[in-house]
Amino acid sequence: MKRLPPYFRRWQNWIGLLLVLTYVFLAVAAPYLSPDDPKKPGPFMRVGRAFEPAPLPPDEKAVLGMLPLGIDIYHALVWGSRDALRFGLIVTISTALFGVIYGAISGFTEGRVGGLMLRIADSFLAFPPIAGVVFLQQLFLATVSALGGFYYSGVIYSYSDTQIKATLIQSLLETINPLMLSLIVFSWMPYARLVHSIVITLKQTDFIQAARALGGSNFWIIRKHLLRNSTGPAMVLAARDVGGVVLLQATLTFIGIGGDSIWGEMLALGRNWILGPGGSILTYWWVFLPPTLAVMLFGIAWNLFGDGLSDLFINR
C-alpha cells in the first residue's frame, strides 16, 4: 500500500481540511446557494415583515429563522463566509508576504542593520490592532469634519455647496477598510521573526555556502534558496492566522469598535434578544447559534488545517 502523505495520517487533519473546503465551497457558491434579492442586494436580505421587532423562528420562508426586522439568517450566514474568507485571506497573505520578505532581508544582512530591523519589528509587537482601528477611523472622521462635512453610513456629506476634496487618508480608507489596514500594519512581525531565525541558521549550511561559491548574487540567494526554504513554516503560521484575524474581526464588530464582519453584525443585531431583558439563548437559540457556530468552526478549521500543514512541512 502506498503511504499517505504526512498530512493525512491524523484524523484531526482530515477534519481541518474538510471544514476549510466547506467554507471555500460556501464562499464560492454563495450566489447559487442563496441568490441575492435583485432589488436590494447585500448580505442582510429581508424576507419577513420589515417592522417585525422580534426574531422569528425557522419556517419555510427562512430555513434557519430570522433576525429582528425580518432578516434571513441563512442568507447572511452564507454570504458571511464569503466575506470572512476574503477578509482572512487578504490580511494573512499580505502580512505573510511582507513579514517573510522583511525577515529574509534582516536575517540575511545580520549584524548592526539586521539587528536594528529586528528591533523595529519587535517594537511593532507592542501595538494592539484594536487601537489602530479606532485611530484610523477617528482620523478619517476628523479629516472629513475639518474639511467641512460629515460622514454617515458610508457617504460623505458636505455642509456647504463646495465639494470636499479628496485627501490621502480618505482615498486610502475607501480602498481598504481600517481594520484590514491596521491588521496588516501590525501583525506581520511573527513572520519576520520566524523567517529571520530560519535564515540565520540556513546561512551556515553548506548549500548556501555552495551557492555563494558559485558566485550567486545576494538577491538570487535570498529568492532561490532562503525564501523557498522558509515558505513551509510561514504557511503554517499563516493558516492559523486566517482563523485568528476573522475571530478578531467578528469580536470588534460585535462590540462596535469597527470592522464589518457579517457574522459579528448578526450577533450584534440579535444582541438584545439574547442579552437584553427577557432575552435568552435558549428561547431565541436560532439568533445565537448559527453565527456563533460559523465563527467558532471557522477558527477551528484553520487551526486544524495549520496543524496539518505543520505535520506536512515541519515534523515530517
Partner 1 sequence: MPPFLQFVTRRFLAVPISLLVITMVLYGGVMLSPPEARATLYMPDNMPPRLTEEQYKKIEENIIRRYHLREPFPVQYYYWMKSLFDGKWGYSPSLNEYVLPSLLRRTPATLELAFYSLLLLVPLGLVSGVAAGWRRSGWFDRAFRGLAFLGTSTPPFILAIILLSIFYINRGWFAPGRLDLPYILEISEGNFISYTGFLTVDSVLNGRTDILGNALRHLAMPVFTLSIYHWATLGRVARVSVLGEEKKEYVIAAKARGVAERKVVWRHVFRNTLTPSLTSMTLSATSIVTGVFVSEIIYDINGISGVILEAMEGVPDAPAALGFAMYSVVMVLLLMFVLDVAQAILDPRVREGVLKT
Catalog residues that contact partner 1 under the rule CB under 8 A: 119-120, 122-132, 134-147, 167-169, 172, 185-186, 190, 247-248, 250-252, 254-258, 267, 274-275, 279-281, 288, 292, 295-296, 299-300, 303
Least separation in angstroms between CB 212 and partner 1? 29
- Between 195 and 208, name the residue whose CB sits nearer to partner 1: 195
- Between 46 and 240, name the residue whose CB sits nearer to partner 1: 240
Apex 249 CA angle, 299 and 263, nearest 5: 75
Other C-beta atoms closer than 10 Å to the C-beta of 304 total 24
Strands 149-152, 71-72: pairing is unpaired
- Between 48 and 265, name the residue whose CB sits nearer to partner 1: 265
Least separation in angstroms between CB 47 and partner 1? 25
What type of residue sits at position 91?
Answer: V
- Between 269 and 295, name the residue whose CB sits nearer to partner 1: 295
Q: For residue 1, give the C-alpha cell.
A: 500500500
Least separation in angstroms between CB 253 and partner 1? 10
Pairwise CA distance, residues 266 & 291, whole Å: 7
Least separation in angstroms between CB 15 and partner 1? 12
- Between 97 and 281, name the residue whose CB sits nearer to partner 1: 281
Please give the span between the terminal C-alpha atoms of the chain, in angstroms, as a whole number. Answer: 19
Least separation in angstroms between CB 252 and partner 1? 8
- Between 49 and 119, name the residue whose CB sits nearer to partner 1: 119
- Between 38 and 315, name the residue whose CB sits nearer to partner 1: 315
- Give which of 271, 111, 97 is closest to 184, Cα–Cα: 97
Question: Are the C-beta atoms of 226 and 52 separated by less than 8 Å?
Answer: no
Question: Are the C-beta atoms of 186 and 127 separated by less than 8 Å?
Answer: yes
Q: For residue 167, give the C-alpha cell.
A: 485627501
The DSSP output letter for 158 is: E
Question: Are the C-beta atoms of 257 and 134 separated by less than 8 Å?
Answer: yes
What type of residue sits at position 223?
Answer: R
Least separation in angstroms between CB 135 and partner 1? 5
Pairwise CA distance, residues 129 & 185, whole Å: 9
Pairwise CA distance, residues 225 & 219, whole Å: 10
Q: For residue 78, give the C-alpha cell.
A: 452564507
Residue 99 parent element (H or E): helix 73-109
Question: Are the C-beta atoms of 170 and 143 separated by less than 8 Å?
Answer: yes
- Between 28 and 255, name the residue whose CB sits nearer to partner 1: 255
Least separation in angstroms between CB 207 and partner 1? 28
Least separation in angstroms between CB 11 and partner 1? 14
Question: Are the C-beta atoms of 311 and 13 separated by less than 8 Å?
Answer: yes
